[in-house]
Amino acid sequence: MHATDIIAKKRDGGELSREEIEFFVQGYAKGDIPDYQAASWLMAVFLRGMSDRETLDLTMAMARSGDMLDLSDIAPVTVDKHSTGGVGDKVSLIVAPLVAACGLPVAKMTGRGLGFTGGTADKLESIPGYRTDLNDAEFRAQLAKIGIVLTGQSADLAPADRRLYALRDVTGTINAIPLIVSSVMSKKIAAGADAIVLDVKVGNGAFMKTLADAETLAEAMVRLGTHAGRRVVALIADMNQPLGWAVGNALEVKEAITTLHESGPADLREHCLVIAAEMLALGGKAADKSEALALAMDMLSSGDAWQKFRELVEAQGGDVRAIEEPERLPQARLIEPVPAPRSGYLAELNAVEVGSAVVELGGGREQKDDLIDHSVGVVVHYKVGDLVQKGTPLFTVHAGDEAKLTAARERVLAAHTIGDDPVQRLPIFYKRVAE
């Protein structure tokens, strides 16, 4: 088999066999196939597409390129969640302890942020001492003991996907359904998930800009999961504005804590309860969705979810005082409100621009190896559809120095529009997709 023949077959619209996909993926993972051949193949896949069968074979080839976790001796059913990324998305910080508090084990390996999209592992590292580098034995022991783990990617999960993703990022081949689907699902399958709840974002701050595209992606992921023998539910969620109020690592941890105490933003609370209920239903902890939702609400209001979060932080070496007294979390040197320049209805709050402002403040990464400042970020005080009062804080910028503060202030001001006419609030979820 030759890489060039496989490239040419896909280029000409052919359907690749399982053997050809396996050859290409393992060859690339081992370094036998160079970046430039993978790049031209990726563009051919982007423009020619892949059948469901090819996408499944690609997913499984990438999953099998590294470790395949099996947690069945510890957790009878493993339910995972995945978000396609977004601005202010701290959902895992709340949902994981909430679901674990309901008795469903959650063993989650989380990623790091790149570009305007944040990563859960970065957020957790705002908590002094919190370890995201558990080894396999620690991972299993903690899961068995307290039923929850939230760590970085400790096992070598789908290394072929990691290499291909980095290449897609620089070759204009990110936004292709079979490539997105196989990237997400290969990691989840390698991590041993039996069931998966997908949080598919749509809007200016998401890969998928239109509802139709998001539906196509959600349907493809659900179909793939089914073909791979996993139960999968996808929820299509809004990402035209940031989720919740806070954007930035320590600021998002604080907001997760307030949400676990039932005093956080309403949109974030609802988002988390619905995702948790889907996970509980898939994991067999409730007879139906209504019961699952009731259970999740109970565990949030009872404080059990908060206690589980506390247990998690303690187990992973985090300073529990920092979450009990969140003012101990990293604080930016400069905290300055940005007043609303006029009164009216908030018509736009561009998620990408707010996320990019936080990256510029040092709270995210432009390049993969950039160091990040956990203390900085932006808090939004109004959401789309709200009636804004001139002079009241529209944003609060948390910055490390004056120059960055000024740049971020200008950027967030340019990211919003206030109008005279009433504006519809944005929905939290647009649609649920299941087999």
Q: Where are the beta strands (DSSP E) in 203-310?
A: 231-238, 246-247
Minimum distance between the CB of residue 147 and a second copy, rounded to whole angstroms?
43
Question: In terms of C-beta density within 10 A (0-12 exposed, 13-18 middle, 19 or more buried), how is residue 82 classed?
Answer: buried
Q: Which is nearer to a second copy, 7 or 286 (CB)?
A: 7
Strands 79-83 and 246-247: unpaired
Residue 83 DSSP code: E
Q: Which is nearer to a second copy, 38 or 405 (CB)?
A: 38
Pull the structure tokens for residue 193.
């998930």
Catalytic residue, candidates 65, 126, 183, 375? 183
Pull the structure tokens for residue 363.
């709270």
Per the annotation, the verdict on 48 as an active-site residue is: no
- Phi-psi group of 305: left, alpha or beta (phi > 0 → left; psi -120 to 50 → alpha; rest → beta): alpha
Residue 117 in contact with a second copy, rule: CB under 8 A: no
Distance CA 370, CA 376 (A): 15
Which of positions 31-70 make contact with a second copy (CB under 8 A)? 34-44, 46-48
Q: Which is nearer to a second copy, 42 or 399 (CB)?
A: 42
Distance CA 124, CA 313 (A): 9
Minimum distance between the CB of residue 247 and a second copy, rounded to whole angstroms?
25
Per the annotation, the verdict on 308 as an active-site residue is: no
Which of positions 149-168 make contact with a second copy (CB under 8 A)? 167
Minimum distance between the CB of residue 232 and a second copy, rounded to whole angstroms?
29
First to last CA, the chain: 36
Largest CA distance in the chain: 67
Q: Which is nearer to a second copy, 204 or 226 (CB)?
A: 204
Q: Which is nearer to a second copy, 327 or 369 (CB)?
A: 369
Please select the residue that binds a second copy; options are 11, 209, 223, 381, rule is CB under 8 A.
11
Helix and strand numbers (H, E) in the chain are 17, 13
Q: Which is nearer to a second copy, 36 or 401 (CB)?
A: 36
Pull the structure tokens for residue 166.
């980095």
Scan for tokens 């939230």, then name that residue. Answer: 150
Strands 246-247 and 334-339: unpaired
Per the annotation, the verdict on 420 as an active-site residue is: no
Residue 171 in contact with a second copy, rule: CB under 8 A: yes
Pull the structure tokens for residue 435.
């087999």
Catalytic residue, candidates 80, 161, 194, 267? 161
Minimum distance between the CB of residue 171 and a second copy, rounded to whole angstroms?
4
Q: Which is nearer to a second copy, 171 or 331 (CB)?
A: 171
| 291 alpha carbon, distance to own chain's centre | 26
Residue 170 in contact with a second copy, rule: CB under 8 A: yes
**301-339 core/surface letters (b: 16 or more CB in 10 A; e: else):** eeebbbebbbbbbebbebbeebbeebeebbebeeebebe
Per the annotation, the verdict on 285 as an active-site residue is: no
User: Among the candidate windows 6-14, 85-93, 108-116, 412-420, which touches a second copy by CB under 8 A?
Assistant: 6-14
3-state secondary structure of 87: coil
Residue 212 in contact with a second copy, rule: CB under 8 A: no
Residue 209 in contact with a second copy, rule: CB under 8 A: no
Contacts of 228 (CB under 8 A, 6+ apart): 56, 59, 60, 185, 189
Helix axes 91-101, 304-315, angle to 10 degrees: 110
Minimum distance between the CB of residue 170 and a second copy, rounded to whole angstroms?
6
Minimum distance between the CB of residue 46 and a second copy, rounded to whole angstroms?
7
Please select the residue that binds a second copy; options are 120, 173, 316, 396, rule is CB under 8 A.
173
Minimum distance between the CB of residue 6 and a second copy, rounded to whole angstroms?
9
Distance CA 3, CA 21 (A): 10
Minimum distance between the CB of residue 220 and a second copy, rounded to whole angstroms?
19
User: Among the candidate windows 5-13, 82-90, 123-131, 343-351, which touches a second copy by CB under 8 A?
Assistant: 5-13
Strands 334-339 and 393-399: antiparallel
Per the annotation, the verdict on 82 as an active-site residue is: yes
Please say whether the beta carbons of 112 and 365 come within 8 A. yes
Size of the site for a second copy (CB under 8 A): 23
Q: Which is nearer to a second copy, 44 or 236 (CB)?
A: 44
Distance CA 140, CA 28 (A): 31
Catalytic residue, candidates 81, 162, 187, 285? 187
Residues in the site for a second copy, rule: CB under 8 A? 4, 7-8, 11, 34-44, 46-48, 167, 170-173
Residues identified as active-site = 82, 161, 168, 183, 187
